[in-house]
């Protein structure tokens, strides 16, 4: 795979198999922070950090930016339990030598543990990486508070964007939980809408909008999806 330097100075990879980059050119670290991690923790704060232990599903681990950025920005006095599936075992093994941004310098021991053992545990952080298909893995989980939905695009990785897949996700999501994704595709939002979820975008101006979905009312910019449906059909993948 080819290393790509993104606009914020962090590196990502381009996958030959999917012919897509792991992150947008806006910045691998910036994208993780603003599209996933900050909205997730902002929602968690509304619900008193779910009693002090936040259960995160990171779809999929890839280079681990979302998991690592979440650890770096973990709210004080909160425990994180992170579950993350990943098909590519060779990629996980290679992470020890990936050129991560300076922000992750303090996390090198965690990166090494994950790369070697697919597991890490400290007093306030536990990470489990599952090698295999996310669609099977999610069926074993329950009571998830935050889902980072960060597969490759629906065009090349459609199995992780179908209505059936999002139905399975909604079944393991806590009633106050949220899904964050970079995708603004109408069929993705239609899945959330059909599942009875509210649709929001993040409030940050420095990066392209994504989608936030939740059964709960959240302090984000709400998308009037019913207005949109006056003009387009609600078709899912």
Contacts with ligand SAM by CB under 6 A lie at 22, 60, 62-66, 85-88, 91, 133-135, 150-152, 157, 159-160
- How do beta strands 144-149 and 53-59 pair? parallel
Nearer to ligand SAM, 147 or 197 (CB): 147
Nearer to ligand SAM, 60 or 179 (CB): 60
Nearest residue (beta carbon) to ligand SAM: 62
Q: How far is the CB of 53 from ligand SAM (least distance, A)?
A: 22
Q: How far is the CB of 177 from ligand SAM (least distance, A)?
A: 18
Q: How far is the CB of 111 from ligand SAM (least distance, A)?
A: 12
Both ends of the chain: CA-CA distance in Å? 28
Nearer to ligand SAM, 54 or 138 (CB): 138
Nearer to ligand SAM, 67 or 198 (CB): 67
Nearer to ligand SAM, 40 or 85 (CB): 85
The Cα–Cα gap between 11 and 133 comes to 25
Nearer to ligand SAM, 74 or 135 (CB): 135
The Cα–Cα gap between 135 and 156 comes to 16
Q: How far is the CB of 64 from ligand SAM (least distance, A)?
A: 6
Q: How far is the CB of 44 from ligand SAM (least distance, A)?
A: 19
Nearer to ligand SAM, 27 or 62 (CB): 62
Q: How far is the CB of 125 from ligand SAM (least distance, A)?
A: 17
The Cβ of residue 64 has, within 10 Å, a number of other Cβ atoms equal to 29
Strand order, beta sheet including 20-21: 2-5, 11-15, 20-21
Q: How far is the CB of 91 from ligand SAM (least distance, A)?
A: 6
């Amino acid at each position: 795979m080819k290393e790509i330097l993104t606009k914020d100075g962090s590196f990502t990879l381009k996958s030959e198999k999917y012919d897509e980059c792991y992150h947008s050119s806006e910045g691998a670290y910036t994208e993780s922070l603003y599209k996933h991690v900050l909205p997730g923790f902002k929602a968690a704060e509304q619900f008193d950090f779910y009693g002090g232990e936040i259960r995160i599903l990171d779809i999929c681990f890839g280079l681990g930016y979302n998991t690592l950025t979440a650890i770096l920005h973990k709210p004080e006095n909160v425990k994180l339990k992170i579950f993350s599936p990943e098909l590519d075992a060779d990629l996980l093994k290679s992470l020890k030598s990936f050129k991560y941004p300076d922000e992750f310098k303090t996390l090198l021991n965690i990166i090494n543990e994950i790369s070697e053992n697919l597991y890490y545990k400290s007093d306030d952080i536990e990470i489990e990486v599952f090698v295999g298909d996310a669609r099977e893995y999610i069926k074993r989980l329950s009571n998830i508070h935050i889902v980072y939905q960060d597969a490759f695009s629906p065009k090349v990785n459609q199995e992780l964007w179908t209505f059936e897949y999002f139905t399975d996700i909604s079944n393991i999501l806590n009633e106050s939980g949220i899904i964050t994704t970079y995708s603004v595709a109408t069929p993705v939002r239609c899945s959330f809408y059909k599942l009875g979820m509210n649709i929001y975008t993040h409030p940050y101006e420095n990066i392209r909008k994504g989608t936030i979905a939740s059964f709960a009312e959240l302090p984000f910019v709400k998308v009037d999806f019913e207005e949109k449906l006056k003009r387009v059909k609600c078709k899912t993948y």
